[in-house]
Amino acid sequence: MLATLAPRIERVAGKLPRRVFVLTSPEIWALWGGTFLESFREEPIVLFLPAGEKYKTIASVDKLLRQMVRAGGDRGSLLIAFGGGIVGDVGGFLAAIFMRGIRYVQVPTTFLSQVDSSVGGKTGVNLPEGKNLVGSFHHPLAVFADVDVLGTLPGRELRAGLMESVKAGIIRDRGLVRYMEENADAVLNRDTKALEKVIAASIRVKADVVNKDERESGLRMILNLGHTVGHAIEQVTKYKVLLHGEAVGWGMIAALYLGVKRRALTRDQAMRLERLVHRYADLPPLKLSVKRLAAATGADKKNVGGVRRFVLPMGIGNAGVVEDVTQAELEAAISYMLSHAKGPRH
């Protein structure tokens, strides 16, 4: 797919404009830049964003926008975001605000970005006060996901990305939950057929939910299962310790605990799902303060009007949103999570 990208883009965007920008990371470009360029008659202008959440900032956006102006970018320019979720989020945001909006396409290279962040139109960056607090809704013209690229993805990143697939199963697709339980070895060994099955099912859940509610006024919120506590962990650890998917994995464990307390699912169901999280993710112990994590959930933008919203699994393949989680419940869920690094106790 990657070697034939230019004509594929032209099929959705028409003739390529005078200035085509590629936002990528140095690592991805070193591995795949040659293949990427094969189908372009005129070489696009390559912009680099160093890898890591710490570069997902307004300062990076500022610098990149200036590079685009100096390279002759204009309103007709097209941007290709070629990389993982951070490249996709920043690239989409650049496209959203450069000259008040230009067209872009996503070419995600990680499992996580293929199944999750490239779909849905959310773009943006972090503030020191919290993750993804700044951004736009700006949909790509198209998403081109090449499963072959995942061959070079580090195992830890694959496992972290699979947390979003586990999440997709829990909230909306019990068939996916069962498939992931029964085919864990094949998926983790990157069997192409197994990966395609999981990726396709995950994208289907995401696209289905987003189509019904782009702006997260209702249904889309269920995609945030595990994210309230997950974001709090990332924030408290300054985005340096865990991958996003790992933080979401932890957050799902807290959410499963709360789900049981609220009788939204049975203890057996929760144990089964907690095992699934641990089967895929490698979650070493976290030494963090319960109070500090609980406080950090407050700055999460999923809270509207000061109400702390929380996504709870409801059985397997369904989820709902509650708004009345108390401080005590939240702290109990976080305590449970912190004591369950090595899998469910039973």
Catalytic residues: 100, 122, 164, 206, 216, 220, 224, 227, 231, 244
CA dist 254 and 145 (Å) reads: 31
Query: Between 244-261 and 267-280, two packed helices, what is the crossing angle to 10 degrees?
Result: 170
To its own copies, the closest distance from the beta carbon of 6 in angstroms equals 18
| Residue 97 engages its own copies in binding (rule: CB under 8 A) | yes
- Closest to its own copies by CB, 94 vs 145, is 94
Task: Give me the 18-47 binding string for its own copies, x by CB under 8 A, dash otherwise.
Answer: x-----------------------------
Q: Which stretch binds its own copies (CB under 8 A): 70-78, 153-161, 188-196, 255-263?
A: 70-78
- With CB under 8 A as the contact rule, the residue among 8, 17, 146, 262 that binds its own copies is 17
Tokens representing 13 are 């965007």
- Closest to its own copies by CB, 11 vs 15, is 15
| Residue 69 engages its own copies in binding (rule: CB under 8 A) | yes
- With CB under 8 A as the contact rule, the residue among 14, 52, 72, 218 that binds its own copies is 72
| Residue 62 engages its own copies in binding (rule: CB under 8 A) | yes
Q: Which stretch binds its own copies (CB under 8 A): 121-129, 147-155, 193-201, 234-242?
A: 121-129
Show contacts of 210-215: CB within 8 Å, 24+ apart: 210/119, 210/120, 210/121, 214/120, 214/121, 214/137, 215/137
Angle at 17 between CA 14 and CA 22, to 5 degrees: 105
Task: Give me the 212-231 binding string for its own copies, x by CB under 8 A, dash otherwise.
Answer: --------------------
To its own copies, the closest distance from the beta carbon of 118 in angstroms equals 16
Q: Closest Cα to residue 277, out of 249, 256, 255?
A: 249
* Cα dihedral: 167, 172, 178, 183 (round 10): -50
| Residue 76 engages its own copies in binding (rule: CB under 8 A) | yes
| Residue 130 engages its own copies in binding (rule: CB under 8 A) | yes
Residues forming a β-bridge with 45: 21
Altogether, the residues listed in the chain come to a count of 346
Q: Which stretch binds its own copies (CB under 8 A): 60-68, 111-119, 185-193, 228-236?
A: 60-68
- Closest to its own copies by CB, 181 vs 214, is 214
Residues 306-345 that bind its own copies (CB under 8 A): 306
- With CB under 8 A as the contact rule, the residue among 11, 41, 128, 284 that binds its own copies is 128
Tokens representing 33 are 């830049």
Tokens representing 15 are 């003739």
Q: Closest Cα to residue 170, out of 211, 200, 210, 202?
A: 202
CA dist 312 and 306 (Å) reads: 19
Buried b or exposed e, range 14-33, using 16+ CB within 10 angstroms? eebeebbbbbbbeebbeebe
Tokens representing 154 are 């580090």
- Closest to its own copies by CB, 97 vs 186, is 97
Residue 211 to residues 38, 85, 206: CA-CA distances in angstroms? 34, 20, 8
**Count of residues that bind its own copies according to CB under 8 A:** 38
- With CB under 8 A as the contact rule, the residue among 37, 142, 147, 299 that binds its own copies is 299
- Binding interface with its own copies (CB under 8 A): 17-18, 58-59, 61-62, 65-66, 69-70, 72, 74-76, 96-101, 122-124, 127-130, 133-137, 299, 301, 303-306
